[in-house]
């Protein structure tokens, strides 16, 4: 049997930080399993990335594409559509592709503000208000750079997605488990999960895998970690008054941050069955507040200095609100 | 009639960095442009967020060096609250950071930059990679490289809570300490790391310094620029990655300025060009003179080589001996040859491993005193560390609740944007004549910027140093007439 008979695998990064790729590399020997069982057709970080070759491939000829990063500009969008066309199974890999991640917070501002801020910082020498231009004439010819989109979008807002693998980045042991599963599927030893499933994660919440003790204790005020650190090592962080995102966040990381004395910041996205991450989290916070009077409740809630960022930190671009989505005229 | 050559690493980076070269009617290089086509806008969207989240949010600028952003941001949050963390907290942060440096420098030397030397720049493309290195140096080296990366990540996770995007540094210190059991484990790994660093320097010595052709390549003029050099130094002007003052030396090696983090905006400014999304930092008090080197141009470099140039030595004994050998071999300070950066990186690897051991054997490292509660009203703060790819500055302003109102970030690779533009331009100019583009151009240009270990994950999104190129030569009508490809 030639290597051509093996199913094709691809991995790609759009607007991302590179952490997803590092997480995959950190599976160490699993990479060799991928190599043994797949024909790696396209993986910029690990091999020759034959972009032109991808264009030349038959539609659907790549069995599995792990797509990390979000859609920030027209170039990201173009490649997302190309890989969708060429792939049987397209996985939104990591928080950026699943829900927009931290860079999705950019959707709270018009894109013009973002560029204006970056090019008018305290150290920027820009008296003539020069900004990057997608097309610019230099004496020798014309130069081009991609156009920033009005909003940042997760993958599913641009193309159809088969599976979602959350995490910022996905934990390496979860990646290894998914690689094992896909290899079994290829060998006919296992079935694929239903389309649209979340893979490489748990189906409960971070709280459910957190070893900290919950005593159904109510709080009189929210506090900030620097004001009470180091926190009690064995007690629920939310019950110590620190807004912890565990109650709304999908399990799968082994409650890594709470175990290190820090609050969950929500990088695994909405837990199973949660329609809107922020709404669920607000409910969870409300449930620990020890007050009846509206004024008192308001005072306690004021202890959360950035409610929007707190409850949509990783999820803003993928939330029900889909901030500024109307700014986009997305065709069907 | 103008010819146009696009060196477009779209095959590996998909537009996260590309070079456009224009030829004049004689076929000589008229000009070249290194373009960065991406912007995510962290400086805008961190506004409105609580200051203690900065070490968590800005991690996501770069998944390759999140530890650097975590540390710079954490130090800035200390400064915002005017709080000095306990000694143990600072040592734990630096210990994490030293282990991270060992991992990061190892990856670059063995997988990214080193193969050019170990295999030789003329070796077949298929051999100029980590596998080629293993074949040449011996199979056991592959296992050692993996072991070093694993050990580094293990320490990052023990202290930082996670392997990627650590979460434990907060204003005033750190959220958790280490146990004596963990300390012993980290010490054992640190001792191993020193041996690994020495072994790596020996590899460099045997294979590179033992080969006159390689030494000539390092010392050749194609990769030489006389610029200013920047690096963080301790009170004895020794290299430090975590703390100290920023020292800048001029192209003759003379101290130009030494500034504390809070003074950075008196010394650094950023130039804007409309054809790229990235800015070009320069020394404000020298001025922006365009893409030229020399004493009158404010362009500076911030890399392992520049840190060695900007310092008076290394703070640990084994690394200091290597530092002395480095300058004795290359003809004194400063060294302007960019390819010497690879050697400098290994000397830093040894320093990081020695520092790792120093910190983990300090009697106070397991102290439970790891946090100082902030008591003052938060205002404004600046944190500076040395990222592996250059001096990293985070600057935040907050309201009285400690909510960010404004931010400024000058990240590692960005410092080197102008030098990279100059180096790639020089390599292109040296190689392209009479309109003839040789295959050799590809690797020569690639080596020009690989020496900087550019991390456009910080500036944009790529992994460091990996820039396979696609050169497309266009005729005057813009039609591609020839395509050359090369990959790492």
Read off φ and ψ for residue A76, nearest 5 degrees: -55, -45
Q: Bridge partners of A141?
A: A138
Task: Tell me the CA distances in angstroms from A146 to A73, A149, B276, one per residue in order.
Answer: 6, 9, 10
The three-state DSSP-derived secondary structure of B26-48 is CCCEEEEEEECCCCCCHHHHCCC
Closest chain B residue by Cα to residue A309: B49
User: In this structure, are A185 and A262 located in the same domain?
Assistant: no
Give residue B55's pLDDT.
98
The shortest C-alpha distance from B86 to chain A (Å) reads 12
Using CB atoms, which residue from A28, A117, A309 is nearest to B48?
Answer: A309
Dist. CA B195–CA B368, nearest whole Å: 30
Closest chain A residue by Cα to residue B483: A52
Give residue B232's pLDDT.
98
Q: Bridge partners of A213?
A: A235
Give residue A67's pLDDT.
97
User: In this structure, are A58 and A143 located in the same domain?
Assistant: no
Give residue B423's pLDDT.
86
Task: Tell me the CA distances in angstroms from A112 to A131, A132, A252, B210, B478, one per residue in order.
Answer: 10, 11, 37, 55, 31
Q: Bridge partners of A92?
A: A67, A164
Q: Residues 6 or more apart from B202 whose CB is under 8 A from it?
A: none
Closest chain B residue by Cα to residue A26: B150
Per-residue pLDDT of A73-118, as tens digits, reads 998 999 999 999 999 999 999 999 999 999 999 999 999 999 999 9
Q: Residues 6 or more apart from B205 whose CB is under 8 A from it?
A: none
Closest chain B residue by Cα to residue A50: B11
Q: Is A221 on the interface with B (CB under 8 A)?
A: no
- Which residues of chain B are within 8 Å of residue A172 when distances are taken between CB atoms? 163
| Cβ–Cβ below 8 Å for B277 and A20 | no
Question: Which two tokens mark B347?
Answer: 């000397």
- Which residues of chain B are within 8 Å of residue A20 when distances are taken between CB atoms? 63
User: In this structure, are A314 and A244 located in the same domain?
Assistant: yes
User: In this structure, are A31 and A123 located in the same domain?
Assistant: no
Using CB atoms, which residue from A21, A47, A121 is nearest to B43?
Answer: A121
Residue A326 lies in a domain: no
3-state SS class at B436: strand
Q: Is B170 on the interface with A (CB under 8 A)?
A: yes
pLDDT per residue, tens digit, chain B (488 aa), is 567 776 554 333 333 667 788 888 888 888 888 888 778 889 999 999 999 999 999 999 988 889 999 999 999 999 999 999 999 999 999 999 999 999 999 987 877 666 666 766 666 655 656 666 667 777 678 788 888 989 999 999 999 999 999 999 999 999 999 999 999 999 999 999 999 999 999 988 988 888 887 788 778 777 788 999 999 999 999 999 999 999 999 999 999 999 999 999 999 999 999 999 999 999 999 999 999 999 999 999 999 999 999 999 999 999 999 999 999 999 899 999 888 888 999 999 999 999 999 999 999 999 999 999 999 999 999 999 999 989 999 999 999 999 999 999 998 788 988 998 898 888 888 878 887 776 566 667 667 776 676 654 444 323 323 333 444 554 444 444 444 443 32
Using CB atoms, which residue from A19, A118, A136 is nearest to B66?
Answer: A19
Read off φ and ψ for residue B232, nearest 5 degrees: -80, 135
Dist. CA B309–CA B333, nearest whole Å: 7
Give residue B283's pLDDT.
98
Question: Which two tokens mark A162?
Answer: 């088969």
Give the range of the structural domain holding residue A144, as residue numbers without chain letter. 110-149
CB-CB neighbours of B330 under 10 Å: 18
B462 vs A237, higher pLDDT: A237
Q: Is B442 on the interface with A (CB under 8 A)?
A: no
DSSP summary character for residue A102 = G
Residue A248 lies in a domain: yes
User: In this structure, are A94 and A160 located in the same domain?
Assistant: yes
User: B178: exposed, middle or buried (C-beta count within 10 Å: 0-12, 13-18, 19+)?
Assistant: buried
* Domain map (residue ranges) of chain B: 3-39+421-486, 84-224+337-372, 225-336
Give residue A158's pLDDT.
95
Q: Residues 6 or more apart from B53 whose CB is under 8 A from it?
A: A265, A306, A309
Give the best residue of B47, B50, B76 to mutate against chain A (max A CB count within 10 A).
B50
The shortest C-alpha distance from B313 to chain A (Å) reads 30
- For residues A51 and B10, the answer to whether their CB atoms sit within 8 Å is yes
Question: Which two tokens mark B445?
Answer: 């240009």
- For residues B293 and B225, the answer to whether their CB atoms sit within 8 Å is yes
Q: Please tell me the least confidently modeled range out of A36-40, A228-232, B318-322, B441-445.
A: B441-445
Read off φ and ψ for residue A221, nearest 5 degrees: -160, 150
| Cβ–Cβ below 8 Å for A224 and B12 | no
- For residues A242 and A223, the answer to whether their CB atoms sit within 8 Å is yes
Segment 32-61 of chain A within 8 Å of chain B by CB: 44-45, 47-52
Q: What dotted CATH number matches B84-224+337-372?
A: 1.10.645.10
Give residue B25's pLDDT.
84
For B200-262, strand residue ranges (E) read 228-233, 245-249, 255-259
User: In this structure, are A31 and A135 located in the same domain?
Assistant: no
Q: Angle at Cα A162 formed by Cα A198 and Cα A4, nearest 5°?
A: 115
Q: Residues 6 or more apart from A128 whose CB is under 8 A from it?
A: none
- For residues B306 and B300, the answer to whether their CB atoms sit within 8 Å is yes
User: In this structure, are A119 and A30 located in the same domain?
Assistant: no
In our burial notation (b when 16+ CB lie closer than 10 A, e otherwise), range B244-276 reads bbbbbbbbeeeebbbbebeebbebbbbbbbbbb
Give the best residue of B53, B158, B404 to mutate against chain A (max A CB count within 10 A).
B53
User: B444: exposed, middle or buried (C-beta count within 10 Å: 0-12, 13-18, 19+)?
Assistant: buried
Q: Is B405 on the interface with A (CB under 8 A)?
A: no
Give the best residue of A117, A211, A226, A305 to mutate against chain B (max B CB count within 10 A).
A226
Dist. CA B400–CA B192, nearest whole Å: 47
- Which residues of chain A are within 8 Å of residue B48 when distances are taken between CB atoms? 108, 306, 308-309
DSSP symbols for A137-161? EETTEEEE-PPEEEEEE-GGGTS--
User: B419: exposed, middle or buried (C-beta count within 10 Å: 0-12, 13-18, 19+)?
Assistant: buried
User: In this structure, are A196 and A53 located in the same domain?
Assistant: yes
DSSP symbols for A31-95? HHHHHHHSEEEE-TTTS---HHHHHHSPTT-EEEEEEESBEEEHHHHHHHHHHHHHEEEEEEESH
Dist. CA B227–CA B214, nearest whole Å: 23
Q: Average pLDDT, stretch A222-233?
A: 93
CB-CB neighbours of B198 under 10 Å: 16
Q: Bridge partners of B170?
A: B173
| Cβ–Cβ below 8 Å for B52 and A140 | no
Residue A53 lies in a domain: yes
Question: Which two tokens mark B480?
Answer: 């591609």
Q: Is A307 on the interface with B (CB under 8 A)?
A: no
Q: Is B290 on the interface with A (CB under 8 A)?
A: no
Residue A328 lies in a domain: no
Q: Is B172 on the interface with A (CB under 8 A)?
A: yes
3-state SS class at B10: helix
Q: Is A124 on the interface with B (CB under 8 A)?
A: yes
DSSP summary character for residue A247 = G
Look at residues A182, A201, A220 and tell me which one is the last residue of a structural domain. A201
User: In this structure, are A12 and A143 located in the same domain?
Assistant: no
Q: Is A258 on the interface with B (CB under 8 A)?
A: no
Token pair 């295999």 in the structure block, residue: B119
- Which residues of chain B are within 8 Å of residue A28 when distances are taken between CB atoms? 146, 150
DSSP symbols for B296-352? TS--EE-SHHHHHHHSSB-SSHHHHHHHHHHHHHHTSSPP-BGGGHHHHHHHHHHHH
User: In this structure, are A173 and A90 located in the same domain?
Assistant: yes
Question: Which two tokens mark B68?
Answer: 């650097």
The shortest C-alpha distance from A25 to chain B (Å) reads 11
What is the predicted ipTM?
0.94
DSSP symbols for A308-324? HHHHHTTTGGGSTT-TT
Give the best residue of A80, A123, A234 to mutate against chain B (max B CB count within 10 A).
A123
> Edge-to-edge strands of the sheet including B404-410?
B380-387, B390-398, B404-410
| Cβ–Cβ below 8 Å for B164 and A23 | yes
| Cβ–Cβ below 8 Å for B41 and A259 | no
- Which residues of chain B are within 8 Å of residue A167 when distances are taken between CB atoms? none
**CA-based end-to-end distance of chain B:** 33
Read off φ and ψ for residue B253, nearest 5 degrees: 90, 5
Q: Please tell me the least confidently modeled range out of A151-155, A181-185, B438-442.
A: B438-442
Residue A325 lies in a domain: no
Does residue A5 surpass a pLDDT of 60? Answer: yes
CB pairs under 8 A between A and B: 261
Read off φ and ψ for residue B470, nearest 5 degrees: -120, 120
Residue A331 lies in a domain: no
Give residue A230's pLDDT.
85
Give residue A16's pLDDT.
86
DSSP symbols for A248-259? GBBS-S-SHHHH
Q: Angle at Cα B153 formed by Cα A23 and Cα B466, nearest 5°?
A: 55
Give residue B9's pLDDT.
45
Dist. CA B206–CA A281, nearest whole Å: 59
User: In this structure, are A28 and A51 located in the same domain?
Assistant: yes
Segment 83-102 of chain A within 8 Å of chain B by CB: 101-102
Residue A138 lies in a domain: yes
- Which residues of chain A are within 8 Å of residue B10 when distances are taken between CB atoms? 51
SS3 content of chain B, % helix, strand, coil (to 5): 45, 20, 35
Give residue A18's pLDDT.
84
Residue A329 lies in a domain: no
Give the best residue of A30, A69, A94, A118 to mutate against chain B (max B CB count within 10 A).
A118
| Cβ–Cβ below 8 Å for B461 and A18 | yes
User: In this structure, are A76 and A183 located in the same domain?
Assistant: yes
The shortest C-alpha distance from A253 to chain B (Å) reads 10
Q: Residues 6 or more apart from A214 whose CB is under 8 A from it?
A: A207, A236, A239
Closest chain A residue by Cα to residue B48: A306
How many domains, chain A? 3
Task: Tell me the CA distances in angstroms from A117 to A104, A262, A306, B35, B281, one per residue in order.
Answer: 16, 31, 20, 20, 16
């Amino acid at each position: 049997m030639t290597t051509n008979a093996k199913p094709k695998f691809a991995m790609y990064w759009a607007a991302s930080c590179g952490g997803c790729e590092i997480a995959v590399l950190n599976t160490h020997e699993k990479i060799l399993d991928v190599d043994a069982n797949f024909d790696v057709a396209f993986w910029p970080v690990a091999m020759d990335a034959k972009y032109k070759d991808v264009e030349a491939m038959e539609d659907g000829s790549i069995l599995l594409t792990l797509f990390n990063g979000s859609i920030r500009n027209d170039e990201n969008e173009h490649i997302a559509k190309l890989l969708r066309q060429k792939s049987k199974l397209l996985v939104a890999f990591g928080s950026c592709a699943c829900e927009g991640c931290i860079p999705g917070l950019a959707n709270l501002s018009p894109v013009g503000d973002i560029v204006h801020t970056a090019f008018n910082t305290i150290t920027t020498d820009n008296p003539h208000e020069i900004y990057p231009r997608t097309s610019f004439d230099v004496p020798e010819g014309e130069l081009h750079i991609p156009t920033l989109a009005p909003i940042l979008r997760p993958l599913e807002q641009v193309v159809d997605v088969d599976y979602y693998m959350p995490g910022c980045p996905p934990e390496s042991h979860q990646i290894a488990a998914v690689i094992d599963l896909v290899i079994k599927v290829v060998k006919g030893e296992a079935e694929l999960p239903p389309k649209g499933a979340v893979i490489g994660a748990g189906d409960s919440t971070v709280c459910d895998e957190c070893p900290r003790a919950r005593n159904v204790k109510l709080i009189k005020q929210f506090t900030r970690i620097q004001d009470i650190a180091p926190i009690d090592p064995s007690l629920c962080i939310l019950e110590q008054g620190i807004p912890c995102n565990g109650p709304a966040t999908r399990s799968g990381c082994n409650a890594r941050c709470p175990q290190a004395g820090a609050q969950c910041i929500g990088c695994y996205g909405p837990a199973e069955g949660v329609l809107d991450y922020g709404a669920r989290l607000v409910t969870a916070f409300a449930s620990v507040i020890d007050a009846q009077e509206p004024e008192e409740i308001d005072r306690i809630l004021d202890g959360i200095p950035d409610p929007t960022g707190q409850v949509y930190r990783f999820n803003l671009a993928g939330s029900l609100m889909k901030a500024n989505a109307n700014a986009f005229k997305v065709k069907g | 009639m103008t010819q146009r050559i696009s060196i477009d690493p779209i095959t590996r980076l998909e537009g996260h960095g590309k070079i456009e070269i224009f030829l004049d009617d004689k076929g000589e290089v008229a000009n070249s442009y290194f373009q960065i086509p991406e912007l995510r806008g962290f400086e805008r969207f961190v506004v409105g967020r609580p200051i203690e989240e900065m070490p968590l949010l800005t991690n996501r600028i770069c998944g390759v060096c999140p530890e650097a952003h975590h540390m710079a941001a954490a130090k800035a949050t200390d400064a915002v609250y005017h709080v000095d963390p306990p000694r143990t907290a600072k040592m734990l942060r630096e210990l994490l950071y030293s282990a991270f440096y060992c991992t990061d420098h190892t990856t670059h030397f063995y997988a990214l930059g080193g193969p050019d030397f170990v295999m030789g720049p003329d070796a077949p493309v298929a051999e100029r990679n980590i596998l080629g290195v293993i074949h040449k140096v011996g199979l056991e080296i592959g296992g050692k490289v993996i072991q070093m990366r694993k050990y580094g990540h293990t320490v990052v996770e023990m202290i930082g809570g996670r392997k990627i995007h650590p979460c434990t540094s907060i204003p005033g210190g750190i959220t958790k300490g280490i146990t004596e059991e963990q300390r012993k484990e980290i010490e054992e790994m640190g001792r191993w790391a020193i041996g690994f660093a020495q072994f790596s320097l020996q590899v460099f010595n045997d294979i590179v310094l033992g080969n006159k052709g390689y030494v000539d390549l390092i010392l050749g003029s194609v990769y030489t620029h006389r610029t200013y050099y920047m690096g963080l130094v301790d009170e004895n002007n020794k290299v430090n990655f975590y703390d100290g003052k920023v020292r800048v030396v001029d192209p003759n090696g003379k101290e130009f300025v030494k500034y504390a983090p809070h003074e950075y905006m008196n010394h650094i400014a950023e130039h804007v060009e409309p054809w790229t999304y990235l800015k070009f930092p320069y020394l404000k008090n020298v001025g922006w003179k365009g893409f030229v080197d020399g004493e009158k141009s404010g362009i500076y470099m911030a890399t392992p080589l520049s840190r060695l140039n900007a310092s008076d030595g290394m703070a640990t004994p084994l690394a200091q001996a290597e530092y002395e050998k480095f300058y004795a071999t290359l003809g004194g300070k400063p060294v302007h040859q960019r390819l010497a950066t690879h050697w400098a990186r290994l000397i830093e690897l040894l320093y990081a491993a020695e520092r790792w051991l120093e910190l983990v054997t300090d009697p106070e490292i397991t102290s439970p005193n790891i946090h100082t509660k902030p008591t003052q009203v938060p205002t404004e703060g600046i944190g500076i560390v040395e990222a592996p790819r250059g001096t990293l500055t985070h600057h935040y302003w907050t309201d009285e609740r400690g909510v960010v109102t404004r931010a400024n970030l000058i990240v590692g690779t960005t410092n080197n944007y102008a030098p990279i533009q100059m180096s790639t331009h020089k390599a292109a100019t040296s190689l392209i004549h009479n309109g003839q583009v040789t295959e050799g151009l590809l690797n020569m240009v690639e080596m020009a910027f690989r020496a900087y270990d550019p991390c456009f994950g910080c500036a944009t999104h790529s992994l460091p140093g990996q820039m396979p190129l696609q050169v497309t030569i266009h005729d005057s009508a813009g039609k591609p007439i020839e395509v050359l490809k090369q990959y790492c």
